[in-house]
């Protein structure tokens, strides 16, 4: 895919390629951007995320039959995180499903739009459903941080981590669909608009106190808050229970593709490995792909490393065999003799198992 | 004689026992004429595709549905579902361990434990 320029690059001098987009790596400096997103409000151009529009009476019904979470009862304005899985229970993608009344919006991982369309299309037999990719004809900003709700004039009520809510609001004279979807335990709003309105919305929020956040700080937020990404942590090599997506699995809603496998893994405690949040004893030199060891034996692999240390601590994510995935445990790192990784917690970005 | 291709019967059949059960449930629903069962395939279920069964007394829409009559019951199949069901026999398994209506589908390469979902 050709690189697409982020339209919102004011002040940025260093760029990185992410998901086929050329994105500002840093607008001002890493530390202040990270601080804004985690303690104030950071604004980030997240247009690289996939956006699908599903039209037809059977959208929620089909999605309910094909994915892990219960989406059939979502009222207009409500949403849920759900996982499309193969019949072997492997991850095709993690979706944010938002009911808009006359249609359903599906938020996909970057670049996964066509794979999701193809998967849904394969099982659309009699259903009234048309799914179209509207990524290129919309812009999506992410407003992240505890002050995000206040900047949008919204109540800062906490919603469950596997939930989304949406409402139409007006910003800088333009109609915007504001979709609240927590980023781990952090407040986050997706702001979806037409591309020509995005620059005005971006400036409006900066004028009200939001700080532009580049790809580097946003990567650090994702890793530090234990949110997996398609590629390093999500995809067909993994099932939702390994990937910490248990909060987006409804074990009582009935059948969906892959349900039998996922239910068996849970019932018989057969999950082989878990995604965990890690902190490293060094501030640099750790890379995705490094093995995690116990007494010289490989027990896991590092999948993501934050681009920089925050508060003097470098963090990451990794898959560790179930027997060694114990919070508090220290593991050696294959590429570094005098460094170790501590397991901080299981990564559960959509919360723990439902009651 | 039914049309066959490579030994597979090119139609959807219903066993006598399943037909009797359809008639029984239809009577309980107050359906006395055109007793039939609409069979369809939908996306979903553990293995990817799942059967959808509805007892009906409605007339057949010949533009969108195929119909076979056996043992006094119309088996009505929506045309889009037909390719997944060609050669299938609808049977009924009763008793304490019975599964109720059962699809013997030669197109199914894999089925889930409860038997209501399959893949081709």
Structure tokens, A219: 């990567």
| pTM for this entry | 0.90
CA B48 to chain centre: 18
Q: How far does B102 lie from chain A, in Å, by closest CA?
A: 17
In sequence order, what DSSP letters do the residues of A139-204 get, joined into one string? EEEEEESTTHHHHTT-------TTEEEEEEEEETTEEEEEEE--BTTB-EEEEEE-HHHHHHHHHH
What is the rounded average pLDDT of the residues A97-113?
97
pLDDT at residue A348 in the model: 95
Q: In what order do the strands lie in the sheet with B110-111?
A: B65-70, B73-78, B36-43, B49-56, B117-119, B110-111
Query: Using an 8 Å Cβ cutoff, are A40 and A33 in contact?
Result: no
* Beta pairing class for B89-93 and B13-14: parallel
- Mutation target for A interface from B40, B41, B46, B82: give the one with most A CBs within 10 A: B46
**Least CB-CB distance to B45: which of A120, A127, A257?**
A257
CA A191 to chain centre: 15
The b/e string for A152-161 (b: 16+ C-beta within 10 A; e otherwise) is bebeeeeeeb
pLDDT at residue A246 in the model: 96
CA A4 to chain centre: 21
Over chain A, what is the mean pLDDT? 93
Helix (H, G, I), strand (E, B) or coil at A271: coil
Q: In what order do the strands lie in the sheet with A174-180?
A: A130-133, A50-55, A104-108, A91-99, A78-85, A163-171, A174-180, A188-193, A139-144, A42-45, A211-212
Cβ of residue B112 closer than 8 Å to a chain A Cβ = yes
pLDDT at residue A2 in the model: 37
Per-residue CA distances from A224 to A149, A185, A334 (Å) = 21, 11, 22
pLDDT tens by residue, A232-263? 999 999 999 999 999 999 999 988 999 999 99
CA A321 to CA A302: how far, in whole Å? 12
**pLDDT block averages, 10 residues each, chain B of length 120:** 50 90 93 90 86 89 88 91 90 79 86 75
Query: Using an 8 Å Cβ cutoff, are A217 and A42 in contact?
Result: yes
Cβ of residue A157 closer than 8 Å to a chain B Cβ = no
Query: Using an 8 Å Cβ cutoff, are A277 and A300 in contact?
Result: no
Please report, rounded to a whole number, the percentage of residues in chain A having pLDDT higher than 70: 96
Which residues of chain A does B44 touch, with a Cβ-Cβ cutoff of 8 Å?
Answer: 62, 64-66, 123, 255-257
Question: Where is A323: in which H helix or E strand?
Answer: none
A87/B44 touch (CB, cutoff 8 Å), yes or no: no
A87/B42 touch (CB, cutoff 8 Å), yes or no: no
CA A267 to CA A254: how far, in whole Å? 15
Helix (H, G, I), strand (E, B) or coil at B20: helix
Structure tokens, A114: 């066509």
A7 burial via Cβ count (<10 Å: 0-12, 13-18, 19+): middle
pLDDT at residue A1 in the model: 35
pLDDT tens by residue, A311-339? 999 999 999 999 999 999 999 999 898 89
**Residue in the structure block whose two tokens are 């009582």:** A252
- Mutation target for B interface from A92, A117, A123, A264: give the one with most B CBs within 10 A: A123
Pick the residue with more confidence: A15 or A114?
A114
**Residue in the structure block whose two tokens are 């069962």:** B37
A258/B110 touch (CB, cutoff 8 Å), yes or no: no
């Amino acid at each position: 895919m050709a690189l697409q320029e982020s339209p919102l690059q004011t002040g940025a001098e260093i760029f990185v390629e992410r998901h086929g987009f050329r994105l500002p790596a840093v607008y001002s400096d890493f530390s202040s951007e990270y601080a804004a997103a985690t303690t104030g409000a950071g604004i980030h151009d997240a247009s690289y995320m996939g956006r699908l529009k599903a039209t037809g009476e059977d959208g929620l019904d089909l999605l309910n039959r094909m994915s892990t979470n219960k989406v059939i009862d979502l009222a207009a304005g409500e949403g849920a995180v759900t996982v499309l899985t193969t019949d072997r229970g492997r991850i095709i993608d993690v979706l944010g499903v938002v009911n808009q009344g006359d249609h359903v919006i599906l938020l996909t991982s970057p670049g996964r739009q066509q794979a999701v369309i193809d998967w849904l299309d394969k099982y659309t037999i009699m259903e009234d459903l048309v799914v179209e990719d509207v990524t290129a004809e919309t812009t999506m900003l992410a407003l992240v941080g505890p002050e995000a709700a206040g900047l949008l004039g919204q109540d800062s009520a906490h919603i469950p981590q596997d939930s989304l809510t949406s409402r139409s609001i007006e910003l800088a004279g333009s109609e915007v669909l504001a979709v609240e979807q927590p980023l781990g335990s952090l407040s986050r709003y997706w702001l979806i608009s037409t591309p020509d309105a995005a620059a005005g919305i971006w400036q409006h929020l900066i004028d009200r106190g939001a700080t532009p956040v580049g790809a580097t700080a946003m990567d650090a937020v994702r890793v530090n808050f234990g949110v997996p990404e398609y590629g390093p942590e999500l995809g067909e090599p993994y099932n939702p229970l390994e990937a910490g997506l248990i909060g987006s699995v409804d074990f009582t809603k009935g059948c969906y593709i892959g349900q039998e496998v996922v239910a068996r893994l849970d019932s018989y405690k057969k999950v082989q490995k878990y995604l965990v949040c890690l902190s490293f004893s060094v501030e640099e030199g750790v890379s995705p792909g490094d093995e995690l060891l116990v007494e010289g034996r490989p027990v896991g692999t590092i999948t993501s490393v934050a681009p920089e240390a925050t508060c003097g601590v470098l963090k990451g994510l990794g898959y560790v065999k179930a027997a060694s995935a114990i919070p508090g445990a220290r593991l050696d790192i294959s590429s570094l003799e005098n460094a170790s990784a501590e397991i901080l917690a299981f990564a559960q970005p959509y919360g723990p198992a439902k009651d | 004689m039914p049309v066959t291709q490579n030994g597979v019967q090119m139609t959807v059949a219903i066993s006598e026992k399943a037909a009797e059960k359809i008639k029984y449930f239809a009577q309980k629903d107050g359906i006395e004429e055109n007793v039939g069962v609409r069979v369809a395939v939908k996306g979903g279920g553990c293995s990817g595709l799942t059967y959808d069964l509805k007892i009906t007394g409605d007339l057949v829409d010949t533009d969108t549905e195929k119909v076979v009559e056996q043992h006094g019951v119309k088996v009505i199949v929506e045309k889009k579902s037909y390719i997944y069901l060609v050669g299938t026999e609808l049977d009924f398994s009763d008793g304490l361990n019975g599964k109720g209506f059962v699809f013997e589908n030669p197109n199914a390469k894999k089925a889930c434990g409860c038997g209501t979902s399959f893949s081709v």
